[in-house]
Amino acid sequence: MNIILLGPPGAGKGTQAQRLVKERGMVQLSTGDMLREARTSGTEMGQKVAAVMDSGQLVTDEIVIGLIEEKIREGNTAGYIFDGFPRTLGQADALNELLSRNGAQLEAVIQLEVDDETLVARIVNRAKEAEAAGQPVRADDNEDSVKIRLMEYYKKTSPLIGYYYARNDLRTVDGLQDVEKVAADISEALV
């Protein structure tokens, strides 16, 4: 079973993906995590994307599609949770092609719905908590970058809602509920 978690930054995609990994043994593919890893290990690509990521803009389709392709080629039986990918229509088309080339398909697209005010509050809070715990704060978890990340979401990613709706893959979950209830609704949507 392969699923996409779709939603703006701060909607809870990462949190819910981690639960699905624990509960179902699925494999989480987060392009954000992969890009951050590339930066930490100092690869040429990591250095290239650093400034773009910190500003809150999207990196090129070519880079993230390449990262996903590498992972899918490794194969897995339990299924993938795509977290933060696809983020553009071009990426969505590429994912279809990659999956079908590997004899796989998409089971569902879970859209996590959260209002903008809550998103900004959650992200600012995530930064504060990290700082208080002495953990590194994401360079894009500040108010300026968050505004750009939200705008990128509305301009480039939100058209995917219509795209997956038309393909009859879209399931919408209220992401404002507590973590347990969101998880329960996702499980129900996957039956």
Summarize as ranges the residues that interact with ligand AMP (CB under 6 A).
9, 31-32, 35, 52-53, 56-59, 64, 84-85, 87, 91, 140, 149
Rg (CA), the chain: 16
**Is there a catalytic annotation at residue 73?**
no
Options 36, 87, 122, 156, the catalytic residue: 87
- Smaller CB separation from ligand AMP, 47 or 103: 47
**Is there a catalytic annotation at residue 138?**
yes
Start-to-end CA span in the chain (Å):
11
- Smaller CB separation from ligand AMP, 62 or 188: 62
**Is there a catalytic annotation at residue 167?**
no
Q: Which helix (H) or strand (E) segment is 160 a member of?
A: helix 159-166
The DSSP line for 1-49 is --EEEE--TTSSHHHHHHHHHHHH--EEEEHHHHHHHHHHTT-HHHHHH
**Is there a catalytic annotation at residue 171?**
no
- Smaller CB separation from ligand AMP, 59 or 182: 59
- CA 117-119-123 angle, to 5 degrees, is 120
Shortest Cβ 174–ligand AMP spacing (Å):
21
**Is there a catalytic annotation at residue 87?**
yes
- Smaller CB separation from ligand AMP, 150 or 173: 150
> Residue 16 and residue 5: Cα distance in Å, rounded?
8
Options 24, 48, 138, 171, the catalytic residue: 138
- How many of the other CB atoms lie within 10 Å of CB of 169? 17
Give catalytic residues, as residue numbers. 13, 87, 126, 138, 149
